[in-house]
């Protein structure tokens, strides 16, 4: 089993280049399904979720041509959605973003079929707002047996006004994609405002769509009959950048986090400044450093432009070593504290009650063998291991590799003592060995 082995305790120094945004890529790739032509996508992150999305489209007949590791040409001219193989459904069950296929298939073919999505386990992850929006656009949507079936009643979706009951990134994305080729005008109220929502809108517009207002809480779309090919470069990943900023906060040192949009990081930068971390903004980088002691603070995660929920585990890992008591409140997900048990193995003093984690800072954490419980939980235990005294082994790193390109290489370039090893599972990890009766 592949693991990270981290000898913690060193400050980080140097420059790290941020890759393209995962949550933009996993929305834009299915959206390309609607383009009759070649989409050239640049600044794609080399992560397993992108690979999974591309493999799904390939099963549908899309042609993928890699120009270089972060640039590809995707041709969906001849895709079809009949008789899709079981191997494809194994992939759609793996990731959350597979449900964007529904919006894209409806927009292209007037009908759609896919499995319920997978993704990180934060408790209940309903899709009622997706169903509400697609139904309002004139689709009949059936969710049963682990599959989602949808069909435009008149053969083509019709624009309308939709008010989302909950701010939802996924529902905003799915409805935007479907509405891009619907007949007439669609207004979506109470939408998500994340940077990757704006990136999707810009991608759709570069392919001939007419999407306005992304980044505000109202998006207006005039449907077009077809989308044409084009070139689009994705924005940098806000959460990858925030994770490296958190690592510097935890370890100390000074790092230039490059190829970012500082505006997207403001919520993270201001919180780190409260914690006695210095953050200076350049045009396309932030310089993060910490020399003095960390300061405790309180955090509440919110939809953008609030403090991002996808940075909650990482900031908790940093606050474990901030003297005093910090309170972190999870404002988006029902249950996003599974990683706390792993941090406690490293000596963290954290008490979780409902949506709040009460963190009593300790002098330092101590290395231990821990698991990545999900993508950002895995990032949190890496941040903790980088700062801890001693050796930390991180298991189940496949979660982390869903969303972080070359994490080990990027951290090694900053002076971290981290490496990836392939080690057989320890028997205790699986419980007592049961000898086969022969
Ligand atoms: C996206 O998930 C991201 N994933 C998540 O990032 C992120 O945590 C989340 O947005 C919030 O920013 C991708 O973009 C692939 P939501 P999504 O719909 O779309 C409720 C990562 O680490 N809700 O914005 O699934 C829901 O239960 C991942 O990169 C409904 O009630 O999140 C939650 O409480 C983890 N009904 C809230 O809304 C719905 O129909 C926000 O969910 C949909 C959502």
Condensed to tens digits (0 to 9), the pLDDT of residues 88-147 reads: 999 999 999 999 999 999 999 999 999 999 888 887 789 999 999 999 999 999 999 999
Confirm if 258 and 284 have CB atoms less than 8 A apart.
yes
What's the rounded mean pLDDT across residues 351-375?
97
Tell me, using a 6 A CB cutoff, whether residue 333 lines ligand 1: yes
- Of all protein residues, the one whose alpha carbon is nearest to atom 28 of ligand 1 is 310
Q: Give the predicted TM-score (pTM) of the model.
A: 0.96
Side by side, which strands form the sheet with 211-212?
161-163, 185-189, 218-222, 211-212
A 10 A CB-CB count for 110 gives 18
Q: Is 120 labeled as catalytic in the residue annotation? A: yes
Burial class (CB in 10 A: 0-12, 13-18, 19+), 359: buried
| pLDDT tens by residue, 392-406 | 999 999 999 999 999
Phi, psi of 224 (to 5 degrees): -120, 160
What's the rounded mean pLDDT across residues 17-34?
98
Confirm if 296 and 350 have CB atoms less than 8 A apart.
no
Tell me, using a 6 A CB cutoff, whether residue 169 lines ligand 1: yes
Tell me, using a 6 A CB cutoff, whether residue 96 lines ligand 1: yes
Helix (H, G, I), strand (E, B) or coil at 235: coil
Structure tokens at 49: 């979720």
Confirm if 253 and 260 have CB atoms less than 8 A apart.
no
Pocket test for ligand 1, best of 19, 20, 22, 23 (most atoms within 8 A of CB): 23
- Ligand 1: distance of its center to the CA of 310 in Å? 10
Tell me, using a 6 A CB cutoff, whether residue 159 lines ligand 1: no
Average pLDDT, the chain: 95
Spatial neighbors of 434 by CB under 8 A, at least 6 apart, are: none
Helix (H, G, I), strand (E, B) or coil at 311: helix
Confirm if 174 and 26 have CB atoms less than 8 A apart.
no
| pLDDT tens by residue, 225-237 | 999 999 999 999 9
Taking the C-alpha atoms of residue 39 and residue 357, their distance in angstroms, rounded to an integer, is: 44
From the list 120, 267, 316, 373, the catalytic residue is: 120
Tell me, using a 6 A CB cutoff, whether residue 72 lines ligand 1: no
């Amino acid at each position: 089993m592949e693991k990270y082995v981290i000898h913690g305790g060193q400050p980080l120094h140097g420059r790290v280049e941020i890759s393209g945004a995962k949550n933009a890529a996993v929305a834009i790739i299915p959206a390309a399904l609607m383009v009759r032509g070649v989409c050239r996508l640049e600044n794609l992150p080399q992560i397993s979720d992108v690979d999974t999305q591309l493999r799904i489209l390939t099963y549908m007949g899309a042609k993928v041509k890699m120009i270089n590791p972060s640039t590809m040409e995707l041709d969906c001219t001849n895709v079809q959605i009949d008789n899709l193989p079981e191997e494809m459904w194994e992939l759609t069950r793996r990731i959350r973003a597979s449900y964007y296929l529904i919006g894209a298939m409806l927009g292209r073919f007037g009908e759609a079929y896919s499995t319920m999505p997978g993704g990180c386990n934060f408790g209940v992850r309903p899709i009622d707002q997706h169903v509400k929006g697609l139904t309002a656009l004139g689709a009949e949507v059936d969710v049963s047996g682990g599959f989602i079936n949808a069909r435009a009643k008149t053969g083509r979706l019709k624009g309308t006004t939709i008010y989302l009951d909950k701010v939802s990134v996924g529902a905003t994305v799915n409805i935007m994609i479907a509405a891009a080729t619907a007949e007439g005008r669609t207004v979506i109220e109470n939408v998500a405002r994340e940077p990757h929502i704006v990136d999707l809108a810009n991608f759709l517009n570069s392919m001939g769509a007419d999407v306005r207002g992304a980044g505000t809480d109202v998006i207006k779309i005039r449907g077009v009959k077809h989308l044409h090919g084009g070139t689009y470069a994705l924005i940098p990943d806000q959460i990858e950048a925030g994770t490296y900023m958190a690592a510097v906060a935890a370890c100390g040192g000074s790092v230039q986090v490059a190829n970012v949009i500082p505006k997207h990081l403001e919520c993270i930068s201001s919180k780190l400044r409260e914690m006695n971390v210095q953050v200076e903004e350049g045009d396309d980088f932030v310089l993060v450093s910490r020399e003095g002691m960390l300061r405790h603070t309180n955090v509440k995660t919110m939809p953008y432009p609030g403090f991002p929920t996808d940075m909650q585990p990482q900031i908790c890992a940093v606050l474990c070593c901030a003297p005093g008591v910090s309170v972190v409140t999870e404002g988006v997900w029902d249950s996003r504290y599974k990683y706390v048990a792993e941090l406690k193995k490293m000596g963290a003093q954290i008490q979780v009650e409902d949506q709040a984690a009460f963190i009593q800072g300790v002098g330092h954490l101590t290395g231990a063998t821990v698991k990545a419980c999900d993508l950002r939980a895995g990032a949190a235990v890496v941040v903790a291991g980088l700062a801890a005294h001693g050796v930390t082994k991180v298991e189940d790193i496949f979660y982390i590799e869903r969303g972080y390109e070359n994490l080990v290489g990027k951290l090694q370039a900053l002076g971290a003592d981290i490496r990836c090893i392939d080690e057989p599972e320890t028997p205790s990890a699986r419980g007592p060995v049961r000898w086969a009766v022969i």
